[in-house]
Structure 1
């Protein structure tokens, strides 16, 4: 009789949850945000509107999460709600590990099935493409004609390089300060310092132009569009270098013979 009297006097689960929530200063929105339980289910728990709640297992899980948030005993709230909803007592271990979830948010079965089918199609397509690539690779290799091997030939010395055809004007330019003197049959055509970027073009009328350079490594000589070989070793004064196009493209050789000017006619040293 005492137990029945106490059960009759005990407030409902909804009232206990609401009172505990108000004592804590929480709103239903606060409980919904903390427990991730839909607000409509929390309202149904407090008003004992069982028709708007999901299956008893879900509802009991919601109530236990609510109770844990407001400081009530989870197991006690769960047992009382099970009794109020007319459900049968189940194994405690199963109930304790239940995680509340909103059935309305569950993924539809057709969507899950479609996702599984899409994954299987992608896997099969990838497997088919991989197998096709592997099977086609040896066929392509077999269709290739064997590369003929070149017969072994005894190494022979390459023929000497022929001088490049020399055409165009001869232009002497400096990459660094360089003193030069250019003469033609004893006549000085140019003498002085060439600064970097400066150049001197040998007159096309010169018959035997010769170059004397204090720093041949600082000179760049062009024959038309071709670059002539160096005219002398670095650090050494170079003299009597022929500036004829053919001689320049042939490369350094024995200095061209100096053509001395004809000696001047003797003059009488005594003034008349």
Structure 2
């Protein structure tokens, strides 16, 4: 039989530590369950300490740590009780036996995790899950924000081939009319028709047919000063707009938009990737 087992069998009339801790607990009106919840030491080990039956411990290495924690929780001097337990263990230790407590090779400042109550383990797991969630939520929010911004950027600014002409803008920027409309109005007559009938137009209405090819483009159409169409359109788009006096066309990718005014072919509105506004009047169409 080991020295520890011999010490356990006679512990009830030994150091008196357990009896002192039991009296202190009862004076505070605490139950063993209260102490177990607070210290995370299992009740069976608390009962063993109070009975001074230290043999219920899985190994002597845990006893001093449990006694220290128990005493501190009761408002006693945990270090003093740990010292007394160390002296008690030394007195009951067999000659030549290797006790990790006495050798100093093992620390009992904190009880080993397997000996704490299942409630303590569950609380620790909840703490880890909460910590992981606290870190993951901001990261997820940043990723989601980035995805939304990227989606709007792609819709508002279409991607063009590397060989396309840069022009004045990157093509498809949101509301390019606010950036270029005033500057481009002064050059509204700069691009001449690419072909078609040269006969005089006698109609009193102004018709503008738009065909989009070679890339998407943001479009804003004004008929007699009133906005009648705003949209990003894809290649293959074709539509005719009418006005009594004036039609204004703003494009975020002018090279992709082909224009016919009252049958006259004006070709592309501008260069690929160019943000441009051009205005056509009934008088201008009639004199072409």
| TM-score category of the 2 structures, normalised to the smaller one | 0.3 to 0.5
- TM-score (norm: length of structure 1): 0.38
- TM-score (norm: length of structure 2): 0.36
* Higher RCO, Cα 8 Å, sep 6+: 2
